[in-house]
A and B are shown apart, each in its own frame.
Chain A
């Protein structure tokens, strides 16, 4: 399975990527929403996108809306991973089309639990 990790912090990209890689994902990274869209438009379409909210150029909410506007990307699961943690913000992200929401700070176990909910754990790991 493939995952695209979008965050403006490279430290955070590394943390999320290494958790996903340990779970068997093939991971690509982008530093903001625009770069993320470029990766997708280039034909690298992942099963999962994890996306931060606060980023320069294009933020996570704009990214989610842009992805949801393109029917070709319907099958992609989007998970926000962000320190935005007000109730209203989570509602906005879900309304825009994010499937899941992880609040920073999170542990590797928390990411794993969310992937299990989404049915995105590779079988051998899920057992």
Chain B
């Protein structure tokens, strides 16, 4: 049996309320595919039946599971390459020159998924700075508790380390743990992980020198994108740098940013006085 319109609408509203993720009509197949494994685990053969059972007696646990199941956690090491090349070639040298020797740089990976993005940054820092852990701290956050736990664990499957992680970095920064690979303790110490919903008021954090907010704005509507960009900006240093995903931009969303081209990539910086 397919998902009924009522069930789909209820899920769609729930997910929007809890995460701001927009599920357009037509995404019924996605809801079905993502919820079916959960329903099966609970011994319920049908997605609509599962949704109705949660709807009639919602609990924080069951609604959370639904919302988390509808996040897309696709990620990889050095995703798109250029935003990380720009970091080491331009952003990091500029920040090191601008900050005092005792000032700690603060970097935020704002939708970190299973951790590839924050640990990519940590590896770059570890390779670039002699005392990285004392000079930089990385904050990694995600809406999904499961992703937060995965990032904390810092363990990656064989298939995951195959996705874009250069072999010399794999052998330098990881050890084998059974069938998985575990990121080195010195990199884990650089990264602090917590839950954070970008669509809700943000906790006190930062101020950040660099923010990676990549491949997450695409899931939101225009007003949500705008308010997230403004909230993120309020947690950034005035001379900070923001990296968005390849399909994302501030242009036409929030004009208080200046777009800076760095090599083949671009970053955004808070406009002065905006």
Which residues of A from 72 to 104 have beta carbons under 8 Å from B?
A: 85-87, 90-91, 94, 98-103
Closest partner residue, chain A, to B79 (CB atom): A113
Contacts of A124 in B (CB 8 A): none
CB distance from A32 to the nearest CB of B (A): 22
Query: Contact between A110 and B171 (Cβ–Cβ < 8 Å)?
Result: no
Complex CA gap A64/B240 in Å reads 45
How many A-B contacts if CB must be within 8 Å? 47
Q: Is the CB of B176 within 8 A of A100?
A: no
When the two chains form their complex, are residues B166 and A117 in contact, meaning their CB atoms are under 8 A apart? Answer: yes
Cα of A91 to Cα of B172 in the assembled complex, Å: 9
Q: Which of the four size classes fits the interface of chain B? A: 10 to 19
Compute how far the CA of A113 lies from the CA of B81 in the bound complex, rounded to whole angstroms.
9
Residues of B113-137 whose CB lies within 8 A of A:
none
Please, how many angstroms separate the alpha-carbon atoms of A54 and B154 in the complex? Answer: 30
- Residues on B with C-beta less than 8 A from A102 are 162
Residue B6, interface by CB 8 Å:
no
Q: Known contacts A116-B81, A117-B78, A117-B81: does B167 contact A90 (CB below 8 Å)?
A: yes
Which size bracket describes the interface of A in this complex? 20 to 34
B76:A113 contact, CB within 8 angstroms: yes
Q: Contact partner of B161 among A99, A100, A103, A105, CB < 8 A? A: A103
Let me know if A87 and B164 touch, CB within 8 A: no
Question: In whole angstroms, how far apart are the Cα atoms of A105 and B163 in the complex?
Answer: 12
Determine if B39 is an interface residue (Cβ-Cβ < 8 Å).
no
Contact of A105 among B78, B159, B170 (CB under 8 A): B159
Residues of B within 8 A of A103 (CB): 158, 161-162
**Interface presence of B101 (CB below 8 A):** no
B168 CB-CB contact with A under 8 Å? yes
Q: Taking the complex as formed, is B175 at the interface, i.e. its CB lies under 8 A from any CB of chain A?
A: yes
The minimal Cβ–Cβ distance linking B249 to chain A, given in whole angstroms, is 17
Could you tell me if B163 and A87 are in contact, using CB atoms closer than 8 angstroms? no
Interface centre among B158, B164, B167, B171 (most CB of A within 10 A): B167
Residues of chain B touching chain A, judged by Cβ–Cβ distance below 8 Å, are 76-78, 81, 158-159, 161-164, 166-168, 170-171, 174-176
What are 13 A-to-B residue pairs whose CB atoms are below 8 Å?
Answer: A87-B175, A90-B170, A94-B171, A100-B166, A101-B167, A102-B162, A103-B161, A105-B159, A110-B164, A113-B77, A116-B81, A117-B81, A117-B164
List 4 additional contacts besides A113-B77, A117-B164; criterion CB under 8 Å.
A94-B168, A103-B158, A113-B76, A117-B166
